[in-house]
């Protein structure tokens, strides 16, 4: 059994509209899965449901992490068990510096893994890990003393998210449109950062509308998502086919496949 097993997952919005309509997906460490599909097909809804966002209700199916169903668990509990979601639209948190946010996030995970008892990371150890992660992700030093996402460019926000990922060491990372709004240089740094973390300790689900991030992160599996379902699966060649041919072949009749949403 894979580390993350999604079985026949159905997800509805609070009003009852079903968006994700029966998804099966298995993701292991050391694997990169790309989920590609037109805007409005339900990709972000799938990501939010995986993380336990309260606005998205799982009405059917299972999300098994290491064999355990996490559907009834809150987002924090899922994070403690090694799930990580990088959001499409990160929020600003004025008054909280990047460094203190990252240390709180690390300590929350450590506490949970220590049976609920505080087990704060020693400051020198945290500094060492932070410096190493910042060096490898090319995050400028002065960034850690700024307030989280406050006035950050798109590229800076994404870089801090990848920094958070490097420090939290999740087992499965879900990246929702991490490429959106990035220029070529920022895209390469972020993509290389993700690629460097994928390995025996971590697998990744890369959700994207565009193929371009996949030029930097080679997916092992590509899943085409349309109208709340996976409609085709293949290897990296499928991403190139989509780049060339677009999503028209997969879009439901009358649906628009283009545009930013």
Task: Give the three-state DSSP class for 85.
Answer: strand
User: What six digits make up the tokens of 4?
Assistant: 């993350």
- Helices 184-197 & 154-168, crossing angle to 10 degrees? 10
CB closer to ligand ADP, 37 vs 203: 37
Cβ-based neighbours of 194, under 8 Å, separated by 6 or more: 162, 165, 173, 175, 178, 204, 206, 217
Cβ neighbours of residue 35 closer than 8 Å, sequence gap 6 or more: 43, 46, 205, 206, 207, 208, 223, 225, 230
Contacting ligand ADP (CB under 6 A), which of 7, 21, 26, 39? Answer: 39
- Which one of Mg ion, ligand ADP, none is in contact with 42 (Cβ closer than 5 to 8 A by kind)? ligand ADP
Cα 174 to chain centroid, rounded: 2
Using the contact rule CB under 6 A, the part of the chain among 23-31, 39-47, 75-83, 243-251 near ligand ADP is 39-47
User: For residues 45 and 164, which CB has a smaller minimum distance to ligand ADP in the complex?
Assistant: 45
Q: Which does 144 bind (CB under 5 to 8 A by kind): Mg ion, ligand ADP, none?
A: none
Which range in 33-41, 90-98, 122-130, 163-171 contacts ligand ADP by CB under 6 A?
33-41
Number of Cβ within a 10 Å radius of residue 148: 21
Q: Which lies closer to Mg ion via its Cβ, residue 156 or residue 176?
A: 176
- List beta partners, residue 147: 97
Tell which one of 12, 41, 44, 171 touches Mg ion (CB under 5 A): 44
Q: Which residues bind Mg ion (CB under 5 A)?
A: 43-44
Residues in contact with ligand ADP by CB under 6 A are 13, 19, 37, 39-45, 55, 261
């Amino acid at each position: 059994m894979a580390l993350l097993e999604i079985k026949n997952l159905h997800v509805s919005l609070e009003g009852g509209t079903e968006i994700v309509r029966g998804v099966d997906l298995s993701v292991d460490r050391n694997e990169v899965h790309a989920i590609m599909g037109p805007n409005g097909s339900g990709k972000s809804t799938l990501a939010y449901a995986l993380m336990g966002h309260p606005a998205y209700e799982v009405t059917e199916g299972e999300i098994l992490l290491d064999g355990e169903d996490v559907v009834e668990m809150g987002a924090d509990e899922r994070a403690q068990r090694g799930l990580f979601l990088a959001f499409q639209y990160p929020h600003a948190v004025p008054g909280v510096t990047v460094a203190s946010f990252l240390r709180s996030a690390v300590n929350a995970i450590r506490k949970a893994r220590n049976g609920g008892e505080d087990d704060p990371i020693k400051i020198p150890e945290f500094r060492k890990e932070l410096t190493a992660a910042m060096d490898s992700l090319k995050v400028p030093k002065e960034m850690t003393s700024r307030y989280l996402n406050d006035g950050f460019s798109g590229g800076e926000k994404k870089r801090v998210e990848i920094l958070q990922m490097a420090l939290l060491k999740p087992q499965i990372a879900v990246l929702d449109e991490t490429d959106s709004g990035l220029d070529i240089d920022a895209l390469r740094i972020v993509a290389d950062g993700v690629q460097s973390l994928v390995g025996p300790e971590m697998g990744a689900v890369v959700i994207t509308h565009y193929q371009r991030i996949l030029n930097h992160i080679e997916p092992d599996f590509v899943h085409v998502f349309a109208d709340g379902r996976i409609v085709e699966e293949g290897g990296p060649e499928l991403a190139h086919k989509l780049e060339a041919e677009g999503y028209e072949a997969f879009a439901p009749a009358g649906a628009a496949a283009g545009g930013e949403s």
